Amino acid sequence: MVDILIVGAGPTGLACALEAQKEGLSYVVIEKGSIVDSIRRFPVNMTFFSTPELLELDNIPFTTLGTRSNRSETVRYYQQVAHRRNLQIKPHTLVTSVEKVDDTFKVTTDKGVWESATVVIATGYFDNPNMLGIKGEDLPFVHKYYTEPFLYAGAKVVVVGGKNSACETALDLWRHGAHVTIVHRKDTINEKVKYWVRPDLINRLEARQITGYFGYIVREIRNGEIDIQHTVTNAIITLPTDFVIPHVGYRPDIHLLQQCGIEVQDDTLIPTYNPNTFETNIPGLFVAGSVMCGCKTWNIFIENSREHAKPIIHEINNVLLRKKAQ
């Protein structure tokens, strides 16, 4: 029996564990992958927009070679924080259900059952890419995740999307010898794309080193080709391709939330929670980090979600004190 069971060992889950540790509460973090597994699966050459100090946990310094951290530095930092602070983490353990029995939560995993007084769900959203909703998007050459460019050298690759992930992927592929086409439903690249990425891609497009189809949506994917349709004229163009990489965003997996009994909005997938304490409609059950934002994934990121830990642990302390007083 622990005071707190935290589901998810991303930055927010780690922040909650650090705060619980400081408060002298017993806790365990259950993680289905490795520590900060989502960041580990980011593109190898990715550079973070946030500066290192905005990614730090518990004032533990994050030193980097440049002004911004890359993927490897960021993974190493968070994993070293977990190691040096001896955080109680059970990696590669999948939570299958959370059930409240009287005043105790029974958390079932693929490796056993835990009991806890409270539960914090901090599972993020990177595991669930948005679907295009078209025929052919499940074909084996359609890759929902992009990690490194070497597989695609010399190949024709269509990247779908116009935000950071799509733009960075298109540039990385081009620099490593792929023949890149980018397709985006809007007329221009998103203006909020990282300030060093957007002009770089615009230059490549103007030099015809990368081909761009703006104002187009994908209609169908078949072996060796993809149909795109203009959003105004409805004209359809068929492009030859070896690979398709859709970068059209992510959304949280709401199945665990719903299984727990947490109310979730149908349209936005945002769970019901108290904005001051992060407690859901189930007493003693909390949400933290980007799992809270539903489809609006641009609202919550590492630098603001790490701040969720203090109010959550403060409220959990209150919950535990009330239980002891009963």
Kindly report, residue by residue over 5-39, the tens digit of the pLDDT: 999 999 999 999 999 999 999 999 999 999 999 99
pLDDT digits (tens, 9 = 90+) for 38-77: 999 999 988 898 899 999 999 999 999 888 999 999 999 9
End-to-end CA distance of the chain: 18
Question: What confidence category does residue 95 fall into, taking pLDDT thresholds of 50, 70 and 90?
Answer: very high
Q: Where does a domain end: 205, 222, 246? A: 246
- Number of domains composing the chain: 2
Contacts (Cβ under 8 Å, ≥6 apart) of 157: 173, 178, 179, 180, 181, 241, 242, 243, 244, 245
Question: What confidence category does residue 321 fall into, taking pLDDT thresholds of 50, 70 and 90?
Answer: confident
* Residue 188 C-beta-side C-alpha neighbours within 13 Å: 7
Question: What confidence category does residue 295 fall into, taking pLDDT thresholds of 50, 70 and 90?
Answer: confident
> What's the average model confidence in pLDDT over 91-96?
97
Look at strands 89-90 and 236-240 and give their pairing: unpaired
Q: What is the pLDDT of residue 312?
A: 97
In a domain, 139, yes or no: no
> What's the average model confidence in pLDDT over 77-95?
98
What is the C-alpha R_g of the chain? 22
In a domain, 61, yes or no: yes
pTM beyond 0.85, yes or no: yes
Least confident range from 141-150, 157-166, 243-252: namely 243-252
Identify whether residues 116 and 265 lie together within a single domain.
Answer: yes
Between the alpha carbon of residue 28 and those of residues 4, 86, 87, 133, 157, the distances in Å are 7, 11, 8, 38, 43
Identify whether residues 107 and 164 lie together within a single domain.
Answer: no
pLDDT digits (tens, 9 = 90+) for 118-145: 999 999 887 888 899 999 999 999 999 9
Question: What confidence category does residue 218 fall into, taking pLDDT thresholds of 50, 70 and 90?
Answer: very high
In a domain, 110, yes or no: yes
- Tokens describing residue 273: 């929670």
- Tokens describing residue 34: 């490795």
Identify whether residues 9 and 124 lie together within a single domain.
Answer: yes
pLDDT digits (tens, 9 = 90+) for 283-293: 999 999 989 88
Q: Where does a domain end: 215, 246, 277? A: 246
Residues 84 and 22: their CA atoms lie apart, in Å, by 14
Q: Is the pLDDT of residue 250 over 80?
A: yes
Q: Is the pLDDT of residue 177 over 90?
A: yes
Average pLDDT, the chain: 94
Residue 43 phi, psi dihedral angles, 5° rounding? -55, 140
Task: For the chain, list the strands marked E by DSSP.
Answer: 2-7, 27-30, 89-90, 95-101, 104-109, 112-121, 156-160, 179-184, 211-214, 216-222, 225-230, 236-240, 243-246, 285-287
In a domain, 133, yes or no: no
Q: Which CATH number goes with the domain that contains 223?
A: 3.50.50.60
Q: What is the pLDDT of residue 202?
A: 97
Identify whether residues 235 and 266 lie together within a single domain.
Answer: no
Q: Tell me whether residue 249 is exposed, middle or buried, using C-beta atoms within 10 angstroms of its C-beta: 0 to 12, 13 to 18, 19 or more.
A: middle
In a domain, 134, yes or no: no
Identify whether residues 237 and 167 lie together within a single domain.
Answer: yes
Identify whether residues 224 and 303 lie together within a single domain.
Answer: no
Q: Tell me whether residue 34 is exposed, middle or buried, using C-beta atoms within 10 angstroms of its C-beta: 0 to 12, 13 to 18, 19 or more.
A: middle
Q: Tell me whether residue 207 is exposed, middle or buried, using C-beta atoms within 10 angstroms of its C-beta: 0 to 12, 13 to 18, 19 or more.
A: exposed
Share of the chain above pLDDT 90, in %: 79
Identify whether residues 10 and 119 lie together within a single domain.
Answer: yes
Q: What is the pLDDT of residue 41?
A: 92
In a domain, 135, yes or no: no
Identify whether residues 96 and 234 lie together within a single domain.
Answer: no
Identify whether residues 112 and 11 lie together within a single domain.
Answer: yes
Q: What is the pLDDT of residue 122?
A: 96
Residue 104 phi, psi dihedral angles, 5° rounding? -125, 140
Residues 196 and 219: their CA atoms lie apart, in Å, by 31
Least confident range from 9-23, 201-215, 239-253: namely 239-253
Length, in residues, of the chain: 326
Q: What is the pLDDT of residue 124?
A: 87
Tell me which residue range forms the domain holding 266.
2-128+250-325
Beta bridge partners of 4: 27, 118
Q: Which residue has the tokens 């403060």?
A: 314
Q: Where does a domain end: 195, 223, 246? A: 246
In a domain, 138, yes or no: no
Q: ∠43-214-226 over CA atoms, to 5°?
A: 70
- Tokens describing residue 103: 């005043």
In a domain, 136, yes or no: no
Question: What confidence category does residue 87 fall into, taking pLDDT thresholds of 50, 70 and 90?
Answer: very high
